[in-house]
Structure 1
């Protein structure tokens, strides 16, 4: 986002932006971007919390410019996509996983997707450019209510 707004590489401190990390269900932060202004961010996990934020947005009461919603506690980095075990991971296990993932990420030279050569090639040869109509069609999802499938069946 920083690059899209400024056409400059993000400062190093944004790669270690603590206010939106961790297992707290709703995290809020503000970032001052020179020449752009203050951006307000929310990072939410859990569908009940997502519903609260979405209702706030629908009512025009959400102060956020960017919202990230994740189903799993702590998001994907906390291992939500990992195979299930008979004993669900405790928060201290999730916190260790998160810390190790951020530590590994900090060791990489390439940390911004807009510099990724494979992504650049994909856009140049297939998707046209970031946020093109074709890229949006293939890479973005839309909500489809499936509430009718959740109705209890009547027993005969």
Structure 2
């Protein structure tokens, strides 16, 4: 079910008796599509250090650039074995760096909560995941969780 299928989502939740209020719902959109946004704090949950960095930029005009590289570059699993080598699919190939790769460090695959890296090559990452035995559609579904709007903007829906 597509994110924009509000009627379908309401029917799945409420069945035949969809409340009238659901008729006025709009498709989800990022805050930046509704108002001008000067600063964003990536990741879910928000990293306290990133929050302080963004607050510093807002208060004092810091010009420190946000990370644009992919998460794999800062992943400690580079030393102990990539999660792909263990048969797990990980979105670190296309996720913005900056969180310290906490999830992979704990043996959990990156779910992309920091957002899509501006440097990401989604097509190559999808092909790599497929070469490691993962279904490309499953890769795309996982990527949609935190990146649906960024993927649409990049023409990668």
TM-score by length of 2: 0.22
Structure with the higher fraction of residues in strand conformation: 1
TM-score by length of 1: 0.22
Structure with the higher fraction of residues in helix conformation: 2
Structure of greater Rg: 1
